[in-house]
């Protein structure tokens, strides 16, 4: 028997994203089911009080000498069960458990409605046949309730149960076939309306799912602007004081030329995924991956008071973690300054990024880690913003493309 292959980073990432999307759908469906449970409980409690009053004063309220206690008993039991459902749905449920309840609850509603129809027919069927209009209304409510569960199966279930209950009522009350057919079509149409409303909500959920997915690529504030007010993305780019971190693996080209392309991709995914996680944990975001290189920004598009401290802490964490997962050494360059953050590109394709000399200098500093032999280099501009750690000067160094030299620092 061949051993199972470990999951690739792509499959793990896909599962992670799918879980996030499922969680969005589950949260909305759970919220809807809980709100419906509140409404059901309130309606049944009011109904129970009315049924108790009718049982105690049948002549005054219904013009009857005697009302059997079965209606009152069933109403009270249903109210207690409805309160139990509220208690259950107040807890956080897994997606699997929620779907189970979405099938159990409509069956409960159907049995309750069936008992209500039977008792009404026994008590009032002959004297007040127009009560059937109330039954038809309850069936419509049951049919449309499936739409809030965001599943076609649940919507079809509630519609079919509503139709079955009305068919049962029409049989008991000996309803005219034409009128019964008209009411049946109305109930089915109500159920279809519920399905249509559910599809609208599902589209909304897909938009939220898209938000969850896009947040993997862009800063959260940019994603929120894109969804809430898309034109805000095209506003004038703004200047930000930031710290830029550029990281790159040493000798990656020679390392990868003897590997299978899939193995190279899996390695890069693990490596880049690790860097992105650490950057986000420290308040930054990844502007772009460049093969085995990465450019991260701390302090844009939203200001970050301690962006230099956050950037250095993230860089130290990256160096430590990569040392344990990669056979290659990594160089990191850090520089602080002003950049312009905004959208770059054409109408057909836009990219949110940061532009400025700060980015270029950070990249040049990272390149010097190879020649100077230090895994991490920090510019004086950044060093002056850091108070939590002591950095050691490595002297003034020539930066490619710049006339004046720049003093660089490393960890002491």
The whole-number average pLDDT for the span 108-131 is 77
Give residue 354's pLDDT.
87
Report how many domains make up the chain. 2
**Do 196 and 271 lie in a common domain?**
no
- Is there a domain that residue 1 lies in? no
- Is there a domain that residue 196 lies in? yes
Domain range for 37 is: 10-214
166-210 pLDDT tens trace: 999 888 888 888 888 988 898 888 888 888 877 777 777 666 666
- Is there a domain that residue 220 lies in? no
- Is there a domain that residue 245 lies in? yes
**Do 262 and 318 lie in a common domain?**
yes
pLDDT band at residue 288 under the 50/70/90 scheme: confident
CATH number at residue 311: 3.30.70.1230
Nearest alpha-carbon partner for 328 in 251, 244, 246: 251
Angle at 130 between CA 166 and CA 119, to 5 degrees: 60
- Whether 241 shows a pLDDT value over 90: the answer reads yes
- Is there a domain that residue 349 lies in? yes
**Do 291 and 395 lie in a common domain?**
yes
Q: Which of 214, 245, 275 is the last residue of a domain?
A: 214
- Whether 14 shows a pLDDT value over 60: the answer reads no
Nearest alpha-carbon partner for 57 in 47, 65, 48: 65
Joined tokens for residue 143: 């049919």
**Do 32 and 106 lie in a common domain?**
yes
- Whether 107 shows a pLDDT value over 80: the answer reads yes
**Do 33 and 159 lie in a common domain?**
yes
Angle at 22 between CA 272 and CA 82, to 5 degrees: 150
Backbone phi, then psi, for 241, in 5-degree steps? -90, 120
Q: How many CB atoms lie within 10 A of CB 322?
A: 20
The chain-wide mean pLDDT, for the chain, equals 81
**Do 120 and 184 lie in a common domain?**
yes
Contacts of 351 (CB under 8 A, 6+ apart): 343, 344, 345
What length does the chain have?
412
The pTM for the full model equals: 0.55
345-403 pLDDT tens trace: 665 666 778 889 999 999 999 999 999 989 999 999 999 999 888 899 999 998 887 77
**Do 207 and 249 lie in a common domain?**
no
Q: How many CB atoms lie within 10 A of CB 92?
A: 10
Give residue 50's pLDDT.
84
**Do 23 and 53 lie in a common domain?**
yes
**Do 131 and 193 lie in a common domain?**
yes
**Do 208 and 238 lie in a common domain?**
no
153-160 long-range Cβ contacts below 8 angstroms, 24+ apart: 153/103, 154/102, 154/103, 154/106, 155/191, 155/194, 155/195, 155/198, 156/191, 156/195, 157/103, 157/106, 158/106, 158/109, 158/191, 158/194, 159/187, 159/188, 159/191, 159/192, 159/194, 159/195
**Do 126 and 274 lie in a common domain?**
no
51-100 pLDDT tens trace: 888 888 877 776 777 777 877 888 888 888 889 888 888 887 777 787 78
- Is there a domain that residue 18 lies in? yes
Name the E strands within 187-227: none
Between 17 and 368, the higher pLDDT residue: 368
- Is there a domain that residue 4 lies in? no
Contact criterion met (CB below 8 Å) for 409 and 378: yes
**Do 43 and 160 lie in a common domain?**
yes
- Is there a domain that residue 357 lies in? yes
């Amino acid at each position: 028997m061949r051993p199972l292959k470990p999951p690739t980073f792509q499959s793990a990432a896909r599962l992670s994203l799918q879980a996030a999307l499922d969680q969005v759908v589950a949260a909305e469906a759970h919220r809807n089911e809980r709100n419906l449970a509140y409404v059901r409980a309130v309606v049944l409690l009011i109904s129970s009080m009315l049924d108790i009053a009718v049982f105690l004063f049948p002549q005054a309220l219904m013009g009857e000498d005697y009302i059997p206690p079965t209606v009152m008993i069933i109403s009270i039991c249903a109210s207690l069960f409805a309160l139990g459902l509220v208690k259950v749905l107040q807890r956080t449920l897994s997606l699997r458990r929620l779907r189970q309840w979405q099938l159990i609850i409509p069956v409960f509603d159907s049995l309750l409605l069936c008992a209500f129809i039977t008792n009404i027919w026994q008590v009032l069927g002959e004297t007040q046949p127009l009560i059937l209009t109330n039954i038809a209304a309850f069936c419509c409510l049951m049919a449309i309730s499936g739409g809030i569960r965001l599943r076609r199966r649940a919507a079809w279930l509630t519609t079919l149960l509503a139709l079955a209950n009305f068919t049962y009522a029409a049989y008991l009350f000996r309803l005219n076939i034409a009128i019964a057919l008209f009411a049946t079509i109305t109930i089915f149409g109500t159920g279809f309306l519920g399905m249509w409303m559910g599809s609208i909500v599902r589209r909304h959920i897909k938009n939220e799912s898209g938000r969850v997915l896009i947040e993997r690529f862009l800063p959260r504030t940019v994603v929120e602007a894109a969804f809430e007010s898309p034109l805000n993305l095209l506003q004038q780019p703004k200047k930000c004081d930031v710290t830029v971190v550029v990281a790159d693996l040493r000798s990656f080209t020679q390392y990868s030329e003897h590997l299978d392309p899939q193995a190279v991709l899996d390695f890069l995914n693990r490596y880049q995924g690790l860097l992105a996680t650490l950057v986000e944990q420290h308040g930054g975001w990844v502007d772009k991956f460049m093969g085995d290189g990465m450019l991260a920004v701390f302090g844009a598009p939203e200001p970050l008071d301690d962006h230099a401290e956050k950037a250095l802490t993230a860089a130290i964490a990256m160096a430590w973690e990569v040392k344990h997962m990669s056979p290659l050494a990594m160089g990191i360059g850090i520089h602080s300054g002003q950049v312009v953050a905004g959208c770059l590109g054409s109408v057909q394709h836009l990219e949110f990024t940061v532009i400025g000399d700060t980015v270029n200098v950070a990249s040049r500093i990272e390149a010097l880690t190879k020649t100077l032999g230090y895994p991490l280099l920090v510019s004086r501009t950044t060093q002056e913003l850091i108070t939590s750690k002591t950095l050691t000067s490595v002297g003034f160094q020539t930066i490619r493309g710049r006339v004046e030299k720049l003093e660089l620092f490393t960890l002491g």
